[in-house]
């Protein structure tokens, strides 16, 4: 048998720990915990004996294991040849044969990279790795390793120098797979460990994800070699695993642990039973068109992390750009018109050296393990990517009928890898949510978080406007910009809620101008109720408005909301002022003075001075704001009204009041008015605020005729 010139062994087998079959059974009958012969892990008294080929040179069995392969069951073993002589020992003079106790012989082949080894220098040793196909019934303990010496003087051309056999007490020399064996690549010792095991259920199958940690204990960096990974279940079945290795983790720097992710395809549910192991193999070309995966280590797999991660627990996911950490912070079931919104807050972070791109997320809620409800992914932070160590948030929201009951809910988060394919990132087992929201007490502010849109809001005041049949309820919502730059006002959606859970949607009179840092805006939230409806115990349900998969813009129609809360409303000021000074209709204040009336056969004239001021610190939308001045006598004349807009008026025919101190004349031509006015003792002058045709009385004062009111 020829040998080529000796070269240095590139891959040295250190941690060969894998499956050993049970005697007399087929390939499916394997021990739940894999075992192998591993000399380096045994005490000296447990190690198998050596075969001396000279007085000071010997063969030792370093490791041996039987594993299933694409070509059937395969024996893998390594012999260490130690030369204790003062001259070279030629390996070409020796060979190894393997047979079973039943007499079956198995053809042994040397790995191609070891065929170049020829001589063992004096005082040194070399490892030689072999493989041999074996039958379905043979076990490791039945095998005998015979060391042959070529002897061309004998008829058989060879003679046996000695053999290595396993003892009757086989367990005493077999080792279990290791939690963290050390692999040697050239002169680089690398510790390997499976740190986490995740199982995700999809229909009647399981998808495994394993986290593997590699630590280079060498003195220089090592490029990660091209290894193959397989998952071995307790039945002995091997399933391929794909290693997801980001580009920046291809290099193993000394003493810096690198986390890789191993992903499997669909496994039957039964595969989850019993212990698991990961078999690490090195692809070896044994022919021009044939490769052999030579095992170099087997790692124990820890117990599975829950198939679905509970609320608040993190889970790692790796793709080609890096490793992301996902965590679901909360689950809400919020009312929305005739539906409910299921919403989860998902945070993503990572510990890579530089920013990672935001993964293209998809998600769905699985109700009662059968009803799939697609969710929208709404990025709540304004960021181009994910900076290291800084959590970024995504809201995952779906709508269900508000009467729909369910007993379990699971959130499945996926990464969209193509137009037709999505890969599961994590599954979260969530607690059953009630249709309830956090309660915000009166005086407290609700924060809006998220990069680029930080703000707080709270109800400022409540006003009720009535007519003969219905009323408007207005809630003034005060919002403060907490960003360090000017920012658009976050859009909200709101409902008025009654104690018996009725919801009334509210329209919003929006403020569209941007707010400076610490700037404050006040928006009007309005809904219509029956005139006699009790408004004393109403609360405000309000959340951040969403359109499709993003926060709603100023001119976009809202189709959902997130982070909804229930806020206690302040008591409405319902008693009108008894004087006409400092009458408040935010953001305006008006004072009326020097009121003088004149009535004759031409009609009524009311002269007065007014001072109109405005709090310009607040950004408001005052379009259409108007006051109604009403003059009423005790007689049969009926009220006289003057409609006055503030600052601006819709048309030239309308009337308005300007900011500052001014005089104003109300003139009503009516020759018969003085005859319908009773006694001319007193009249009542009232100021109303009007909203879309309905009014609220702000102030009212009884005034003597023909006197001047200051």
Domain definitions of the chain by residue range: 11-176, 182-300, 309-430, 439-568, 583-704
Give the rounded distance of the alpha carbon of 354 from its chain centre: 19
CA angle 106, 284, 149 (to 5 degrees): 40
**117-131, 182-196, 252-266, 608-622: range with lowest mean pLDDT:** 182-196
For domain 309-430, say whether CATH 2.60.40 is its number.
yes
The class (CATH top level) of 182-300 is mainly beta
pLDDT at residue 646, as a whole number: 94
pLDDT at residue 42, as a whole number: 82
How far is 225 from 536, CA to CA, in rounded Å?
Answer: 73
Give the rounded distance of the alpha carbon of 583 from its chain centre: 52
Tokens of 656: 């308005």
Q: Cα-flanking dihedrals φ and ψ of residue 92, to 5°?
A: -65, -15
Contact 13, 111 (CB under 8 A): no
Give me the mean pLDDT over the 578-597 stretch. Answer: 94
When the candidates are 3.30.420, 3.40.1130, 1.10.287, 2.60.40, the CATH number that belongs to 439-568 is 2.60.40
On the question of pLDDT at 169 being above 90, the answer is no
Cβ of 686: how many Cβ atoms within 10 Å?
Answer: 19
Pairing of strands 618-620, 520-530: parallel
Tokens of 538: 């109403």
Contact 335, 399 (CB under 8 A): no
How far is 147 from 160, CA to CA, in rounded Å?
Answer: 6
Give me the mean pLDDT over the 463-472 stretch. Answer: 94
Block residue for tokens 């447990």: 46
pLDDT 10s digits, 339-378:
999 999 999 999 888 899 999 999 999 999 889 999 999 9
Give me the mean pLDDT over the 453-476 stretch. Answer: 95
pLDDT at residue 553, as a whole number: 86
Q: Cα-flanking dihedrals φ and ψ of residue 234, to 5°?
A: -65, -20
pLDDT 10s digits, 598-630:
888 888 888 999 999 999 999 999 887 899 999
Percent of the chain residues past pLDDT 90, beyond the cut: 49
HSE-up (13 A, CA, CB side) for residue 52: 5
pLDDT band, residue 289 (cuts 50/70/90): confident
The DSSP symbol for 218 reads S
pLDDT band, residue 95 (cuts 50/70/90): very high
pLDDT at residue 180, as a whole number: 67
pLDDT at residue 357, as a whole number: 92
CA separation, residue 333 to residues 308, 358, 436, 491 (Å): 20, 26, 7, 20
pLDDT at residue 340, as a whole number: 93
CA separation, residue 268 to residues 72, 150, 197, 372 (Å): 22, 51, 16, 22
On the question of pLDDT at 269 being above 50, the answer is yes
Q: HEC states along 545-575? A: EEECCEECCCCCCCCEEEEEEEEECCCCCCC
On the question of pLDDT at 173 being above 60, the answer is yes
Q: Provide the Cα torsion 38, 39, 43, 48; round to 10°.
A: 120
On the question of pLDDT at 496 being above 50, the answer is yes
On the question of pLDDT at 32 being above 70, the answer is no
pLDDT at residue 637, as a whole number: 58
Contact 507, 526 (CB under 8 A): yes
CATH number of 583-704: 2.60.40
Looking at CATH, the fold of the domain delimited by 11-176 is given as Immunoglobulin-like (2.60.40)
**426-455 per-residue burial string, b: 16 or more CB within 10 A, e: under 16:** bbbbbeebeeebeebeeeeebebebeebbb
The answer to whether domain 11-176 and domain 182-300 are alike in fold is: yes
Give me the mean pLDDT over the 333-341 stretch. Answer: 92
Tokens of 634: 């005790």
pLDDT band, residue 175 (cuts 50/70/90): low
Block residue for tokens 């810096």: 256
pLDDT at residue 665, as a whole number: 94
How far is 460 from 477, CA to CA, in rounded Å?
Answer: 6
CA separation, residue 317 to residues 104, 263, 305, 321, 539 (Å): 48, 10, 14, 11, 42
pLDDT at residue 282, as a whole number: 83
Block residue for tokens 């319908």: 676
How far is 325 from 305, CA to CA, in rounded Å?
Answer: 15
How far is 607 from 603, CA to CA, in rounded Å?
Answer: 13
pLDDT band, residue 177 (cuts 50/70/90): low
User: What three-state secondary structure class fits 684?
Assistant: strand
**134-143, 181-190, 326-335, 639-648: range with lowest mean pLDDT:** 181-190
Contact 36, 64 (CB under 8 A): yes
pLDDT at residue 616, as a whole number: 92
Which is higher by pLDDT, 254 or 198? 254
């Amino acid at each position: 048998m020829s040998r080529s010139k000796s070269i240095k062994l590139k891959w040295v087998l250190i941690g060969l720990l894998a499956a050993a079959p049970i005697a007399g059974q087929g390939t499916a009958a394997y021990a739940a915990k894999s075992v192998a012969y591993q000399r380096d892990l045994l005490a000296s008294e447990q190690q198998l004996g050596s075969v001396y080929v000279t007085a000071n040179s010997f063969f030792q069995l370093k490791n041996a294991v039987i594993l299933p392969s694409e070509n059937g069951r395969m024996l893998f073993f390594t012999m260490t040849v130690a030369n204790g002589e003062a001259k070279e020992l030629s390996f070409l003079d020796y060979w190894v044969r393997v047979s079973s106790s039943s007499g079956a012989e198995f053809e042994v082949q040397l790995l191609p990279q070891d065929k170049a080894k020829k001589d063992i220098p004096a005082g040194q040793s070399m490892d030689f790795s072999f493989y041999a196909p074996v039958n379905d019934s043979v076990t490791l303990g039945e095998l005998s390793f015979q060391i042959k010496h070529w002897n061309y003087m004998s008829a058989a051309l060879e003679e046996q120098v000695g053999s290595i056999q396993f003892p009757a007490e086989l367990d005493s020399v077999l080792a279990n797979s290791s939690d963290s064996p050390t692999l040697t690549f050239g002169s680089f010792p690398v510790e390997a460990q499976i740190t986490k095991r995740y199982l995700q259920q999809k229909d009647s199958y399981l998808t495994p994800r394993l986290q593997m940690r590699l630590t280079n204990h060498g003195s220089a960096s090592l490029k990660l070699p091209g290894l193959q990974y397989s998952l071995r279940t307790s039945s002995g079945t091997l399933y391929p695993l794909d290693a997801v290795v980001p580009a920046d983790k291809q290099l193993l720097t000394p003493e810096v642990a690198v986390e890789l992710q191993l992903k499997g395809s669909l496994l039957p549910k039964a595969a989850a039973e019993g212990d698991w192991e990961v078999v690490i193999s090195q692809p070896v070309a044994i022919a021009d068109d044939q490769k052999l995966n030579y095992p170099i280590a087997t790692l124990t797999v820890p117990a599975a992390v829950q198939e679905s991660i509970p609320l608040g627990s993190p889970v790692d996911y790796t793709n080609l750009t890096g490793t992301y950490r996902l965590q679901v912070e909360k689950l809400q079931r919020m009312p929305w018109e005739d539906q409910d919104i299921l919403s989860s807050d998902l945070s993503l972070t990572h510990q890579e050296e530089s920013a990672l791109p935001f993964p293209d997320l998809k998600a769905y809620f699985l109700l009662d393990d059968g009803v799939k409800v697609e969710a929208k992914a709404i990025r709540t932070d304004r960021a181009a990517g994910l900076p290291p160590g800084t959590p970024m948030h995504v809201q995952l929201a779906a709508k269900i009928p508000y009467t729909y009951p369910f007993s379990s809910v699971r959130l499945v988060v996926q990464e969209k890898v193509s137009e037709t394919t999505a890969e599961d990132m994590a599954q979260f087992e969530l607690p059953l949510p009630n249709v309830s929201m956090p309660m915000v007490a009166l005086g407290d502010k609700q924060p809006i978080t998220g990069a680029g849109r930080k703000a707080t809001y709270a109800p400022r005041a409540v006003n009720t406007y009535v007519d003969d049949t219905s009323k408007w309820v207005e809630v003034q919502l005060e919002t403060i910009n907490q960003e360090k730059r000017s920012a658009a006002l976050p859009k909200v959606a709101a409902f008025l809620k009654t104690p018996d859970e009725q919801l009334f949607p509210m329209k919003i009179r929006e403020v569209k101008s941007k707010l400076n840092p610490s700037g404050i805006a006040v928006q009007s939230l309005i809904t219509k109720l029956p005139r006699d409806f009790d408004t004393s115990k109403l609360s405000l349900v309000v959340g951040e408005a969403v359109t499709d998969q993003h926060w709603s813009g100023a001119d976009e129609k809202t189709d959902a909301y997130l982070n909804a809360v229930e806020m206690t409303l302040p008591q409405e000021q319902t008693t009108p002022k008894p004087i006409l000074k400092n009458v408040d209709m935010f953001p305006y204040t008006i004072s009326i003075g020097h009121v003088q009336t004149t009535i004759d056969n031409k009609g009524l004239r009311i002269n007065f001075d007014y001072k109109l001021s405005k709090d310009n610190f607040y950004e408001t939308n005052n379009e259409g704001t108007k006051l109604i001045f009403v003059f009423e006598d005790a007689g049969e004349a009926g009220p006289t009204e003057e409609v006055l807009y503030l600052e601006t008026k819709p048309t030239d025919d309308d009337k308005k009041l300007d900011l500052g101190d001014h005089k104003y004349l109300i003139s009503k031509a009516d020759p018969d008015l003085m005859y319908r006015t009773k006694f001319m003792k007193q009249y009542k002058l009232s100021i109303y605020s009007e909203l879309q045709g309905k009014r609220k009385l702000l102030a009212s004062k009884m005034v003597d005729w023909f006197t001047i009111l200051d």
